[in-house]
Amino acid sequence: MTFPNVILLGAILNIFLAIIVFLSDTKNKLNKTFAIFCINLAAWNIICYLRDITGNNIYHSILYSSLSILPLTSYYFIISYLKKSETLQHFKYPFTIFSLTLFILSLIQVTRIALFHDILVFYLLIAFLIQEYCLINRFLKIGVFNERNRLRYIILATGILLVLGITDFVPALNFIRPINLGNIGNIIFSFIISYTILKSDIMPINYALMKIFTYILAATFFTFIFIFITLGFSVSFPTTVKAFISCMFILISYKILEKKIFQISERLLLAKHYRHQKVLQQLSEKYLNKNAEFNSLIKDTVDISYKILNLDNCGFAIETDSTPFNLYSLSKNCKIDNKTLKEWFKKDIDNNIYFRNGDKSIYLYRLENYNDNCGIFYFIYDNENFHDDDGIYLSTLINQVKGIMEKILLNKKIINMENIAFAGEIAAGIAHDIRNPLSSIKGAAQYLDDSIKGKDREYFKILLSDIERIEHIIERFQLFASRNEINKEIIAINNFIRNIKNRFRNKKLYVNNQCKNTNFLTDPIILEESIYNIIQNAFDSYEDNNENRVHLEISDNSNNIILSVIDNGRGLSIKNKNDIFLPFYTTKTDGIGLGLSITKRMIYALGGKILFKENPKGGTIFTIILEDV
């Protein structure tokens, strides 16, 4: 391929990159301005191609016109990236005036004057040096690691474009004439900038350069093998057969040496230091916001460690009800089974432990209080040992993860306290707004007391009973809003069960009473309302009303009463285990999310606790434990 054809290919690539970047986010100003700049660079390549092919001087003037607006298009690209750069803002109008003036002069073929050439070269040099200075100035001021890394790429790309581009106008600097280095430079620039825009998680530039260098060495080595096998042997095989043999040899060799090549790349330029620093700072920056989630943090930790250390196996497992399982894992071979996980959870891991199991090197890190469960990070190499810097990196990473988790927990507690305070205000408002009309209803009912006779008297008693119940509920709303003392009394378990069954007389509620004691001490209204809320939620969890069966199991243990509400409905995800008791958290389309929050607060007021777990047969199991009753 001749060099003019290479220039044309470069123009096509620039246009292609412009389209890709623009379509990746059509509303982003950075993408738009870069696409325009790429088209400007493509015009530079196309005009150079036409000039070299035809030799027509008209293209010389058009080339200068395309070059004269390069500082303007590059300015809008750089300013859209730097945004608030006061230094660069001052050059908006000078760049616009100079670029448009030179553009018009080049079109009327003033380019034949030697002075015009010198002015244009000087303008291009000064304009790009100013923009490079602004980029470097931002780089020195910014502290965000990922942003600094991205700026390194942009500074490098702009520097390449400036240095190689100027050689097209100063022949003495181009040592490989007639090849135009400026055309090659703008292609390199477009590729680097496209990478930084399209890729959200870019590798450190030192590591990128090191990888390129390493794989160039590997490619050179394998090319030498290919030539040696294909042409060096005088064996009477056809060249195609020898070429096939050499290709197979190269593929097998590369597969065997792949890990060694990676290790060599680790040693060059101390790449691990940069990658480790990048990972630790990225995690810290990403999870500073209040909406960060545990699961997302765990997934990112596993993904990054697996990629950075080139591990054979990596994951995070948790143990619930003495049953371990992989929450998230990545593996080149087979995944870790539950039997192995169970053995790991039995190990005495204070913080971390390193051991060998056959040909495997294993690092385990314990993580307590992951959604009220114990968790373990595991990092595994097959047929290889961990280096000291790997251990330091993993220890630092896990400590940082623990710190981030503490921040997430603290943020959730703050949000929970704010929601509880707000819910308390709502509860107080509801109690106040209902109490007034209820007093009128009760007064009217008492006025009609003597006039109700016969069979209607039975219904009238139900009405008065429910009014009293509403009054008690209002009092409990006020309990949620304040911290008043509760009213405990000794109640009969059978009476408690009868009241609950009466409230669900038209539904399939099955009660299994295994209590040895017949009485216990509690606040009956609070307990009934709590159980009512949970049972009602259980019935609501069924999608088919014909199968909505709920079981209430009551048992005692020493001085404790245990009440379990069991259903086989659609269930709740275990990841929502800590959220379902938060005020305003709901999975119902018509719910407000206060039921379980009030229930939990009521149970705690009784001196008990409420637990939730998945039903192995499908659905959920809520358990209330009332202590010392």
Q: What is the mean pLDDT of each run of 10 residues along the chain (629 residues)?
A: 68 88 86 89 85 75 85 89 79 89 80 74 88 86 69 86 79 61 80 81 65 68 67 59 66 64 53 59 64 75 80 83 74 78 75 77 78 77 76 77 76 68 67 75 76 75 78 64 68 87 83 83 84 84 73 84 85 63 64 69 82 81 81
Cα gap 316→298, rounded to integer Å: 7
Residues 169 and 317 in one domain: no
Sheet with 549-557, side-by-side order of all strands: 508-513, 549-557, 560-567, 620-626, 608-614
Instruction: Say what the pLDDT of residue 475 is.
Output: 65
Instruction: Say what the pLDDT of residue 437 is.
Output: 81
Instruction: Say what the pLDDT of residue 25 is.
Output: 84
Instruction: Say what the pLDDT of residue 269 is.
Output: 43
From 435, 466, 484, give the residue that closes a domain: 484
Instruction: Say what the pLDDT of residue 245 is.
Output: 67
Residues 475 and 429 in one domain: yes
Residues 507 and 602 in one domain: yes
Residue 341 belongs to some domain of the structure:
yes
CB atoms within 10 A of CB 551: 17
Instruction: Say what the pLDDT of residue 275 is.
Output: 58
Residue 395 belongs to some domain of the structure:
no
Residue 164 belongs to some domain of the structure:
yes
Instruction: Say what the pLDDT of residue 548 is.
Output: 78
Residues 73 and 193 in one domain: yes
From 150, 184, 202, give the residue that closes a domain: 202
Residue 275 belongs to some domain of the structure:
no
Cα gap 404→375, rounded to integer Å: 15
State the CATH number of the domain containing residue 554.
3.30.565.10
CA angle 160, 144, 86 (to 5 degrees): 65
Cα gap 210→218, rounded to integer Å: 12
CB atoms within 10 A of CB 355: 10
Residues 53 and 122 in one domain: yes
From 317, 351, 386, give the residue that closes a domain: 386
Dihedral sign computed on CA atoms, order 234, 237, 240, 245: negative
State the CATH number of the domain containing residue 337.
3.30.450.40
Residues 30 and 171 in one domain: yes
Domain that holds residue 110: 3-202
Residues 104 and 119 in one domain: yes
Q: What does residue 605 show for φ and ψ, rounded to 5 degrees? A: -65, -30
Residue 394 belongs to some domain of the structure:
no
Burial class (CB in 10 A: 0-12, 13-18, 19+), 226: middle
Task: Give the distance, in angstroms, between the CA of residue 546 and the centroid of all CA atoms in the same chain.
Answer: 41
Give me the number of domains the chain comprises. Answer: 5
Residues 171 and 307 in one domain: no
Q: Evaluate whether 8 touches 45 at the Cβ level (below 8 Å).
A: yes
Residues 52 and 197 in one domain: yes
Residues 315 and 226 in one domain: no
Residues 374 and 302 in one domain: yes
Residues 521 and 586 in one domain: yes
